[in-house]
């Protein structure tokens, strides 16, 4: 099969896998504006903390079994061997998840203290234990759908999950008038629905687990635990540093005055000055969803990229093919960086009936962090691409080295900067850590598996994106949506030439080839 057809297949599967992620994230993004009309940032704060903790806990629940299953299932006999790997992974995840959720349910107060979560939110934490359990049980079945190249089934189940989640959020909050607990209750029901829809896949694969195979799988998967925790530190430790921010510093840094935030001061009288810190945490956790728009493609790419490079690793031109994929990925991510950075302000200010805006003005003070956070997602996309060499050469320990470097930098920068500089420092620490992670992984892997990256072209594309952003930021006359849209389009054309990519080739990559080369 030609490299063009193989890239088209990757792009096609990326698009299909991304349907569920894109629609889900977009709908969740549309839910957040509704949340912002009902829940002020300090009220939204416990949800931000709980979901930040999920990123850490999911690593323990899954203990590397998703990646381990994908690796061993591709190496074993497709019928008996793959079913044995599937069953072994499912049983392992089930037992570990039940034990961990039991800890959350039986010891909620110590767990809440670790999360900086006030004890008045313990009921939310109990529901969180159910979400973690149900989501973990679905991980291996979803991986099996990816391995079978069944993106439409994968997307269909994801979309069913989204439909249940969104429908119940609207019912609970706007129909029944329930509070912040509605978000977690809807999530529990949606996760249960996914597991029910995955049951045919589970029943068709499940056999007796293989203890010998489990030892091999766990040896491969274990490095993903510290590595995953390191990733979680990089991604979300900033939330917990923000939660420890001194209330007086938060109040003065963001100019939270009785005149500008009268309702917040009323709550401060009832609950104490901690609400100023909670306000900052809720604002960061809410407004960062704008940056997550760029993460959509990164996640889409990750879903399709892992099976793609495992299946094509033995192709004669594999390294050249992977280099072409990197250039296309870079073009898309840099264009998304400019588009979201330019249009974020217009997006949050979109008018709604009743004199409201798309996102409540209480969250706008977090807007300056968006471009900083987007840079981190660019590095994250690169990191996922560089991971191919580590998988192919079976050196998963490199993930640990890379994430350890990133997590240490994240811890240091958050500890030094967040107490004084707040949200800006939190976003910058995460982006810097992702940059170090991607660089570390690249340097470690390149001696084992060489890919002909066009770094000079990539550097010019990055510098050009920086020049576009700085010019736009300094010239107010450019800050109109129609001019911004033209600028993004011009950059896409210019960057494609710098990277040696034909735009029609990128466009055609998302079309199914009419014929297959056998």
Quick one: average pLDDT of 496-505? 79
Asked whether 45 and 285 are in contact (CB, 8 A), the reply is yes
Share the mean pLDDT of the chain. Answer: 86
Predicted local confidence at residue 44, as pLDDT: 95
Asked whether 319 and 450 are in contact (CB, 8 A), the reply is yes
- Containing 487, the helix (H) or strand (E) segment is helix 481-498
Q: What Rg, from alpha-carbon coordinates, does the chain have?
A: 23
Predicted local confidence at residue 369, as pLDDT: 94
Quick one: average pLDDT of 460-480? 94
Confidence band, pLDDT 50/70/90 cuts, at residue 231: confident
φ, ψ of residue 356 in degrees (nearest 5): -90, 170
What would the pLDDT profile of 141-181 be if each residue is shown by its tens digit?
888 887 777 777 888 888 898 889 989 999 999 889 999 99
What would the pLDDT profile of 326-385 be if each residue is shown by its tens digit?
999 999 999 999 999 999 999 999 988 888 898 988 899 999 999 999 999 999 999 999
Q: Is the pLDDT of residue 81 over 60?
A: yes
Asked whether 410 and 376 are in contact (CB, 8 A), the reply is no
Q: Is the pLDDT of residue 233 over 60?
A: yes
Q: How far apart are the first and last CA of the chain?
A: 6
Predicted local confidence at residue 464, as pLDDT: 96
**Domain range summary for the chain, segments of one domain joined by +:** 1-20+280-513
Asked whether 369 and 287 are in contact (CB, 8 A), the reply is yes
Predicted local confidence at residue 516, as pLDDT: 39
Beta bridge partners of 351: 357
Determine whether 75 is exposed, middle or buried from the number of CB atoms within 10 Å of its CB (0-12, 13-18, 19+).
exposed
Residue with tokens 């509605």: 182
Q: Is the pLDDT of residue 299 over 60?
A: yes
Predicted local confidence at residue 312, as pLDDT: 77
Quick one: average pLDDT of 22-33? 72
């Amino acid at each position: 099969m030609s490299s063009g057809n193989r890239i088209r297949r990757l792009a096609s599967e990326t698009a299909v896998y991304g349907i569920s992620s894109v629609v889900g994230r977009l709908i969740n993004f549309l839910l957040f504006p509704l949340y912002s009309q009902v829940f002020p940032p300090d009220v939204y704060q416990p949800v931000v903390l709980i979901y930040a903790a999920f990123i850490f806990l999911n690593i323990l629940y899954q203990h590397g079994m998703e990646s381990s299953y994908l690796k061993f299932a591709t190496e074993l006999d497709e019928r008996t061997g793959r079913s044995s790997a599937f069953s072994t992974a499912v049983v392992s995840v089930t037992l570990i998840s039940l034990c961990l959720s039991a800890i959350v349910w039986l010891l909620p107060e110590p767990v809440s203290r670790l999360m900086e979560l006030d004890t008045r939110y313990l009921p939310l934490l109990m529901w969180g234990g159910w979400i973690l359990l149900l989501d973990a049980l679905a991980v291996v079945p979803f991986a099996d759908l990816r391995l079978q190249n069944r993106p439409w089934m994968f997307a269909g189940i994801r979309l069913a999950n989204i439909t249940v989640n969104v429908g119940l959020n609207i019912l609970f909050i706007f129909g029944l008038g329930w509070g912040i607990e509605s978000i977690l209750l809807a999530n529990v029901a949606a996760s249960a629905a996914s597991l029910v829809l995955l049951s045919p896949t589970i029943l068709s694969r499940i056999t007796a687990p293989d203890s010998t195979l489990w030892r091999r799988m766990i040896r491969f998967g274990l490095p993903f635990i510290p590595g995953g925790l390191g990733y979680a530190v990089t991604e979300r430790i900033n939330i917990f540093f923000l939660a420890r921010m001194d209330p007086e510093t938060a109040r003065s840094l963001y100019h939270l005055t009785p005149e500008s935030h009268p309702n917040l001061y009323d709550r401060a009288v009832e609950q104490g000055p901690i609400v100023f810190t909670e306000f900052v945490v809720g604002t960061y956790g809410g407004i960062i969803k704008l940056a997550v728009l760029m993460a959509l493609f990164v996640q889409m790419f990750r879903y399709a990229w892992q099976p793609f490079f495992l299946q094509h690793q033995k192709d004669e031109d594999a390294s050249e093919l992977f280099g072409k994929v990197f250039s296309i990925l870079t073009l898309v991510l840099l264009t998304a960086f400019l588009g979201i950075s330019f249009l974020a302000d217009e997006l949050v200010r979109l008018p709604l009936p009743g004199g409201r805006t798309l996102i409540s003005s209480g969250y706008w003070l977090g807007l300056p962090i968006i471009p900083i956070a987007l840079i981190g997602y660019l590095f994250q996309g690169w990191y996922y691409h560089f991971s191919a060499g580590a998988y192919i050469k079976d050196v998963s320990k490199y993930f640990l080295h890379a994430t350890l470097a990133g997590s240490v930098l994240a811890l240091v920068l958050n500890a030094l900067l967040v107490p004084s500089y707040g949200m800006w420092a939190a976003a910058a620490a995460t982006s810097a850590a992702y940059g170090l992670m991607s660089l570390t992984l690249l340097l470690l892997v390149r001696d084992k598996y060489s890919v002909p990256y066009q770094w000079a072209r990539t550097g010019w594309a990055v510098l050009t994106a920086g020049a576009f952003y700085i010019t736009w930021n300094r010239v107010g006359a450019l800050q109109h949506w129609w001019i911004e849209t033209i600028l993004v389009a011009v950059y896409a054309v210019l960057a494609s030439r710098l990277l040696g990519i034909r735009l029609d080739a990128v466009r055609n990559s998302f079309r199914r080839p009419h014929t297959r080369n056998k």
